[in-house]
Structure 1
Amino acid sequence: MTGRVPESRKVVVDRSEGFGERLLGQLLDRAHAMPPQLIAPLVAEEVRRIGGRDVSILLQDYDQVMLVPLPGRGLKGGDPLPIDGTWAGEAFVSETRVEHPVADGIRMFLPLLDGSDEVGVMALTLSRVDDDDRRLLRRLAGLVADMLVTKNSYTDQFFRARRREPMSVSAEIQWSLLPPLSMAIPQVAVAGIMEPAYDVAGDSLDYALNDEILHMAVIDAMGHGLNAAVLATVAIGAYRHARRANVGLAELYEFMDTAINEQFGPDQFVTAQMARLDIGSGSLEWVNAGHPAPLLIRDNRVIEALEGAGTLPVGFGGAAPQINTRQLVRHDRVLFYTDGLVEEHESGGEQFGEKRLINTIEHVGPMTRTVQQMVRSLSHTLMRQRKGTTTDDASIFLVEWCGGTADHLAEVNI
């Protein structure tokens, strides 16, 4: 028999609406029906209610070099700010709040994080700041990031703000295919970047976390321009279709191979790496279809290339691939990349090469903390070493296995 809980033992919870809940709640309530162009005035109004002013929303550009002001009524404009060497950039890279004293108060820079994906930075000025302000603004920034990502699907406004150069049709197609370029949870983190951002064609990447399995793919479609983008689109579409049918890696390769062959014939192909990581155990499986071997990084040192058995590129009808396996150690990183990263060379000079890539990884690694920081720094360092030359697509996809569990995040503490 179930007895009633005595009145004296019941926990009384105060459900009245406080100022912070009211401010965030009204923002959320109105955001549901808010057209995209009114997000800026709404955010500016909410910030004014807590005494803030000079509000800016800064979005990361496609090159991952600058933070670009989002235009809109109520927002402070201005020139794009470099990610490196600015207060806003520090907040963006570190994913933490930055406070900078100014003549009329404190300039606050808050990272806009959609989950763990870096959207940009919200900046505002307060006359003074206390811990209540910091807590409320952190939650406000999280809500603003979610609003931007949600409304992004309904407008071109945010895409246009992020572009600092004209974009090719092939790049337009590729960017529309991509998942968020960063994700971090307690057990695993991933980050990617593609060059040239405004003219990429055949390179693409994809991932999905299904329960305890992280699925990953990096592809490089032959050729350049629009045809390469179409090849990549079919390859990624076939990959996702097979992945969502929960087939094995060998069957996944065969499905992609058939799709490319039937659509384009035997003269066109896609090189690819398809992998699965058990985020609980750290067991990595992968199939190599004519792609450069991924690099295993431990303690900021490249300890080996994960060569393994391979098969023909997707579309050539290769034999059923052998599944390669490797047990990772906690905080191991695996770097997948496309050949444009190492095959670039100056006119009359030698190729950039894997050895120089490894040297650069080991130079950059100790100076970065997260996979997002490492990917961005590695890509930009390699670009400088190549003297800005990118005649072929060059992509990087980095995964770090951390292990452990995220169960504590589902616990409610009142």
Structure 2
Amino acid sequence: MKPPPELWQDAIFELLRRTQRAQPGDLADAANAAVRPLDAEITIYLVDHEQRTLRAVPGRGRPTPQSLPVDASLAGRAFMTGTLVPVAGERWRLWTQLQDGTERLGVLNLRLPEWLDPGDPEVTAGLRQFNELVGHLVAAKNPYGDALRRARRSRRPSTASELLWRMLPPLSFATDHVVISAILEPAYEVGGDAFDYAVDADVARVAVLDAVGRGLHAGLTAAVALSAMRTARIDGDGLYAVARAADEALTDNFGDQRYVTAVLAEIDLISGAVRYVNAGHPPPVLLRGGKAVGVLDRGRRMPLGLDDPAVEPAELALEPGDRLLFHTDGFTEARDEHGGEFGVHRLVDFAERHAAAGLPVPETLRRLSHDVLAHQYGPLRDDATLLMVSWSEEDSRRVLV
């Protein structure tokens, strides 16, 4: 029998071979075929868009396991914490978080043979490498079919929601110096909210947008603004020019009938220097040492789409470990059954509590959004977005399995 490192290496090569021309719906079967020589078995679960439920990816000719709650299952514990979680009484059955780089996708359920010790570092190292490959393949195969997208959905999204989700970057990304994570609600009805980011060389560029109105009209407005901003950003334009590109695109297509509030920011990942423009949007919150110490309330101009050429970007200096919390008013204006708003103060209070718990940034945002939804009586009345940027090497390490 080969030693564990060689067995896992063989499984990795076999999975790569089997997936070169595979459809997205073939991935679950290919992963199981690759580990069959180890007498192992794998089930892939993807987290749904609300990040409340883990949904199994079907395999051909096999029954699909039931979905599992993130907040009340061993699978959910692995997803939230990024740790290996054994099944009680079954030492050789494990749950592990599934990632593409630093983007949380779901979990893997693994049944190992009894001759592979799950406590052996060589076994866990090989398992981690195989896990990373599965995560990369989920992300790489996803655009080529609907099977993996279908597996993530708990219900049918609106047309506006489908439009925006296809335009957005992954919910989380990290480098050695920064973590960027975002979340949108209501996941299947979102229309006018959007976010964007790009990290190149030593600069992170982020934006949060909220288009006027709701539904498809708002979604189209947000899509036009987002596309114009990306075009200008990729061409090397600065904050001022990026905002003006959105102005022109919105005016050219809709006249003065539609506008978008937004915050655009550039963060120097070496010095921590921040430059930002606030186009009629709720100001982001600066968290330092786990406490809110200020807001980004300068650099103001009219919303995008309303001519305002005179703005000068504002500046801010981050300290190592600082976090910036961007939000749209859909979260702060969530109301309980008595009409009481969740409010900025409560949003900040919960953000401070989760920061004190030492949670990874993506998990902090997931829980923060669910705090707001627990407060809301009935469905949200408006789209709601949270985006957090952490200039922290420690937070960067926390997002890795």
TM-score by length of 2: 0.92
- Structure 2 residue 15 is matched with structure 1 residue 27: yes
| Deviation per residue, 1:323-356 (Å, 9 max, x gap) | 1111101110000000111123346624332122
RMSD: 1.9
**Mean alpha-carbon deviation: is it higher for 336-345 or for 152-161?**
336-345
| Deviation per residue, 1:204-224 (Å, 9 max, x gap) | 000011111101010000001
Q: Is the 8 A contact 2:14 2:34 kept in 1?
A: no
SS in 1 for 2:283: coil
Q: 1:262 aligns with which of 247, 252, 260?
A: 252
Q: Please list every run of at least 4 consecutive aligned residues from structure 1 whose deviation after the TM superposition is greater than 3 angstroms.
A: 17-20
Cα 1:365/1:76, change in 2 over 3 Å: farther
Q: Is the 8 A contact 1:310 1:321 kept in 2?
A: yes
Q: Is the 8 A contact 1:59 1:121 kept in 2?
A: yes
Q: 2:288 aligns with which of 274, 284, 298?
A: 298
Who is 2:37 aligned against? 49
Q: Is the 8 A contact 2:334 2:372 kept in 1?
A: no
Which has more radius of gyration?
A: 1
Please list, as runs of the form range in 1=range in 2, the aligned pairs for 1:11-410 lying within 5 A after superposition: 18-53=6-41, 55-73=42-60, 77-103=64-90, 105-128=91-114, 129=117, 130-346=120-336, 349-402=339-392
Tell me how far 1:46 sits from its aligned partner: 1.8
Distance in 1 separating the partners of 2:28 and 2:322: 41
Q: Is the 8 A contact 2:11 2:35 kept in 1?
A: no
**Mean alpha-carbon deviation: is it higher for 345-354 or for 179-188?**
345-354
Tell me how far 1:98 sits from its aligned partner: 2.1
Who is 1:3 aligned against? none
Who is 1:8 aligned against? none
Q: Which amino acid aligns with 2:243?
A: Y
Q: Is the 8 A contact 1:360 1:382 kept in 2?
A: no
**Mean alpha-carbon deviation: is it higher for 87-96 or for 371-380?**
87-96
| Deviation per residue, 1:186-233 (Å, 9 max, x gap) | 200011000100000000000011111101010000001100000011
SS in 1 for 2:316: strand
Distance in 1 separating the partners of 2:362 and 2:234: 27
Distance in 1 separating the partners of 2:156 and 2:221: 22
Length, aligned pairs only: 387
SS in 2 for 1:315: coil
Tell me how far 1:92 sits from its aligned partner: 1.3
Cα 1:93/1:76, change in 2 over 3 Å: farther
Who is 2:399 aligned against? none
Distance in 1 separating the partners of 2:318 and 2:335: 33
| Deviation per residue, 1:109-141 (Å, 9 max, x gap) | 122111100111111112432333222211111
SS in 1 for 2:71: coil
Q: Which amino acid aligns with 2:54?
A: L
User: Structure 1: 5+ residue runs without aligned partners?
Assistant: 1-16, 407-414
Distance in 1 separating the partners of 2:61 and 2:137: 17
| Deviation per residue, 1:24-59 (Å, 9 max, x gap) | 112212311122222211111222221213x21100
Distance in 1 separating the partners of 2:82 and 2:62: 22
Q: Is the 8 A contact 1:58 1:68 kept in 2?
A: yes
User: Structure 2: 5+ residue runs without aligned partners?
Assistant: 397-401
SS in 2 for 1:194: strand
Tell me how far 1:294 sits from its aligned partner: 0.3
Tell me how far 1:62 sits from its aligned partner: 0.5
**Mean alpha-carbon deviation: is it higher for 193-202 or for 384-393?**
384-393
Tell me how far 1:378 sits from its aligned partner: 0.4
Q: Which amino acid aligns with 2:259?
A: F
Q: Is the 8 A contact 1:296 1:303 kept in 2?
A: yes
Q: Is the 8 A contact 2:327 2:387 kept in 1?
A: yes
Tell me how far 1:161 sits from its aligned partner: 0.9
SS in 2 for 1:345: coil
Q: Which amino acid aligns with 1:274?
A: L
Cα 1:190/1:388, change in 2 over 3 Å: farther
Q: Which amino acid aligns with 1:119?
A: L
Tell me how far 1:235 sits from its aligned partner: 0.7
Cα 1:350/1:126, change in 2 over 3 Å: closer
Distance in 1 separating the partners of 2:84 and 2:63: 19
Tell me how far 1:360 sits from its aligned partner: 2.2
